[in-house]
Amino acid sequence: MFEHVDHYPGDPILSLLEKFGHDTRPNKVNLSIGLYYDENGKIPVLKSVQAAAKIVQEKAEPHTYLPMEGLAAYREAVQHLLFGRDSAALRDNRVATIQSVGGSGALRVAADFIKTYLPDSAVWISDPSWDNHHALFTAARIQVHTYPYYDAVTNNINFGGMLETLNTLPAKSIVLMQPCCHNPTGLDLNHAQWKEVIGVLQQRNLIPFLDIAYQGFGDGIEEDAWVVRAMADAGLTMVVTNSFSKNFSLYGERCGGLSFVCPSAKEAALVLGQLKAGVRRIYSSPPLFGSKLVATVLHDADLRQQWDREVAAMRDRIKTMREKLRNSLTAHAPSVDGSYLVNQRGMFSYTGFTAAEVDSLREDSAIYLIRSGRLCIPGLNNQNVESVAQAMAETLKKR
Ligand code: PLP
């Protein structure tokens, strides 16, 4: 019956993680998967989340179903975090937001909606982008194209190429962009560049799709939402997907959100109805526990402050590791320009290592990057940063 089923080779990043688990070398370093690790190499349980869990546990509420659109307090918290409390779009009831099964679930529900209601629109993603972007839209039978983003020669953004492509897109094309801490390159547009992009989106009647999975890991929680707010204030009709996997360290609880900013309250109500219908058809309603944790933290003034501080500590540790890696790398290989390490932001750094160099770092030095050359900074700590820098310098010297 199932002999014809195609073999699934597995996800390359998850397979690498498995390989890392089996590696018996004591000095092994995992810089592959996009997880935030603390200085001790552990995935943190945030204190604010622990306190919220206690509150939730003590209430001992029944484990009932959530509505299709999710917990109301959670959805409101998502809206405030993304658009700001004084957002005109929120005041006018023009934003339809649902709680989603992680950021990935938001992307998939959005993709199904786009396929149904904008059937002629293709999605344009950055080259490169998070691998699953391609898969998620293709699974919804949407055409996926790329716009230039990374320039390997300058190890910077090919902004001219990006704008040139956006300027050729047909009206109602969907342009997927990451507001902060771009995965996988760590390269973000500056405000002036975003303003230019907003102009092109408006002129050509394109639909921005903002996927924000690392809010707070760049410049700050509010600062990282700047472009979401700038686009909403510019009156753009847009889609926003967000994830709390990283900034709440709640990976397995699957906490995300999907918001559509619409031209009118009437359209927002219609969109919300169809998002609910879409959810009903796939998983009926989202998970309960994580949404209570996030809503409790974000609605309690003290816990919210504590969370701000915990996110700041994660962000600062990332920045410190970037600096230490740059300093050690340039100490070992003075001719190397390591400035990209401190200029890129968020969890990832695009190192420019070839797949063969990544393989040799793994085989010779037990240092695991993914084959695109993407390095996950939070895998670094004070114990391993020096040896990683040394191995990177040796690899570069062999060029
Ligand atoms: N979008 C981007 C850019 C990501 O990097 C990720 C996760 O790595 C996601 C979305 C998905 O988030 P989640 O793990 O909450 O499904």
Active-site residue 115, yes or no? no
Residue at 57 is within a domain: no
State residue 9's pLDDT score. 87
To the nearest whole number, what is the mean pLDDT of the chain? Answer: 97
| 158 and 237 inside one domain | yes
C-beta 213 within 6 A of ligand 1 = yes
| 79 and 197 inside one domain | yes
Q: Alpha-carbon distance 100 to 286, whole Å?
A: 6
C-beta 231 within 6 A of ligand 1 = no
126, pLDDT greater than 90 = yes
Q: What is the mean pLDDT of residues 340-350?
A: 95
Domain that holds residue 111: 65-299
Q: Which atom of ligand 1 is nearest to the CA of 130?
A: 3
Q: Which atom of ligand 1 is nearest to the CA of 104?
A: 16
State residue 207's pLDDT score. 98
State residue 10's pLDDT score. 86
Read off the CATH number of the domain in which 119 is found. 3.40.640.10
Q: Which of 299, 320, 353 finishes a domain? A: 299
Residue at 180 is within a domain: yes
State residue 258's pLDDT score. 98
Please state, as a whole number, how many other Cβ atoms lie within 10 Å of the Cβ of residue 359. 13
| 321 and 234 inside one domain | no
State residue 151's pLDDT score. 94
Active-site residue 246, yes or no? yes
Contact 246, 217 (CB under 8 A): yes
Residue at 59 is within a domain: no
| 284 and 187 inside one domain | yes
| 314 and 249 inside one domain | no
Q: Which atom of ligand 1 is nearest to the CA of 106?
A: 16
What does the pLDDT look like over 38-78, one tens digit per residue? 999 999 999 999 999 999 999 999 999 999 999 999 999 99
| 261 and 126 inside one domain | yes
Pocket test for ligand 1, best of 17, 104, 188 (most atoms within 8 A of CB): 104
| 291 and 319 inside one domain | no
Residue at 256 is within a domain: yes
Please state, as a whole number, how many other Cβ atoms lie within 10 Å of the Cβ of residue 223. 11
Q: Alpha-carbon distance 333 to 351, whole Å?
A: 15
State residue 12's pLDDT score. 86
| 71 and 220 inside one domain | yes
Residue at 55 is within a domain: no
C-beta 130 within 6 A of ligand 1 = yes
SS3 letters across the chain: CCCCCCCCCCCHHHHHHHHHHHCCCCCCEECCCCCCCCCCCCCCCCHHHHHHHHHHHHHCCCCCCCCCCCCHHHHHHHHHHHHCCCCHHHHCCCEEEEEEEHHHHHHHHHHHHHHHHCCCCCEEEEECCCHHHHHHHHHCCCCEEEEECEECCCCEECHHHHHHHHCCCCCCCEEEECCCCCCCCCCCCCHHHHHHHHHHHHHHCCEEEEEECCCCCCCCCCHHHHHHHHHHHCCCCEEEEEECCCCCCCHHHCEEEEEEECCCHHHHHHHHHHHHHHHHHHCCCCCCHHHHHHHHHHHCHHHHHHHHHHHHHHHHHHHHHHHHHHHHHHHHCCCCCCHHHHHCCCCEEECCCCHHHHHHHHHHHCEECCCCCEEEHHHCCCCCHHHHHHHHHHHHHCC
Q: What is the mean pLDDT of residues 279-301?
A: 98
Angle between helices 301-332 and 289-299 (to 10 degrees): 100
Contact 216, 223 (CB under 8 A): no
| 349 and 211 inside one domain | no
| 323 and 286 inside one domain | no
Contact 211, 183 (CB under 8 A): no
State residue 243's pLDDT score. 98
Pocket test for ligand 1, best of 182, 185, 243 (most atoms within 8 A of CB): 243
| 295 and 353 inside one domain | no
Q: Which atom of ligand 1 is nearest to the CA of 251?
A: 14
Q: Which of 2, 23, 35, 147 is nearest to 377 (CA)?
A: 35
288, pLDDT greater than 90 = yes
State residue 134's pLDDT score. 97
Q: Alpha-carbon distance 189 to 195, whole Å?
A: 10
111 alpha carbon – ligand 1 mean position (Å)? 15
Q: Which of 281, 299, 317 finishes a domain? A: 299
C-beta 101 within 6 A of ligand 1 = no
Q: What is the mean pLDDT of residues 266-272?
A: 98
Given pLDDT bands bounded at 50, 70 and 90, which one contains residue 13? confident
Contact 368, 29 (CB under 8 A): yes
Pocket test for ligand 1, best of 245, 251, 345 (most atoms within 8 A of CB): 245
What does the pLDDT look like over 362-398, one tens digit per residue? 999 999 999 999 999 999 999 999 999 999 999 999 9
94 alpha carbon – ligand 1 mean position (Å)? 25
Residue at 6 is within a domain: no
Read off the CATH number of the domain in which 385 is found. 3.90.1150.10
Active-site residue 47, yes or no? no
Q: Which of 299, 320, 345 finishes a domain? A: 299
Among 246, 276, 292, 324, the active-site one is: 246
SS3 letters across 278-319: HHHHHCCCCCCHHHHHHHHHHHCHHHHHHHHHHHHHHHHHHH
State residue 266's pLDDT score. 98
Number of domain units in the chain:
2
Residue at 7 is within a domain: no
220, pLDDT greater than 90 = yes
Question: Pairing between strand 123-127 and 144-148?
Answer: parallel
State residue 227's pLDDT score. 98
| 192 and 278 inside one domain | yes
399, pLDDT greater than 90 = no
Angle between helices 226-233 and 191-204 (to 10 degrees): 40
State residue 11's pLDDT score. 86
Q: What is the mean pLDDT of residues 11-32?
A: 93
Residue at 261 is within a domain: yes
Among 124, 130, 276, 292, the active-site one is: 130
What does the pLDDT look like over 173-217, one tens digit per residue? 999 999 999 999 999 999 999 999 999 999 999 999 999 999 999
Q: Alpha-carbon distance 288 to 389, whole Å?
A: 43
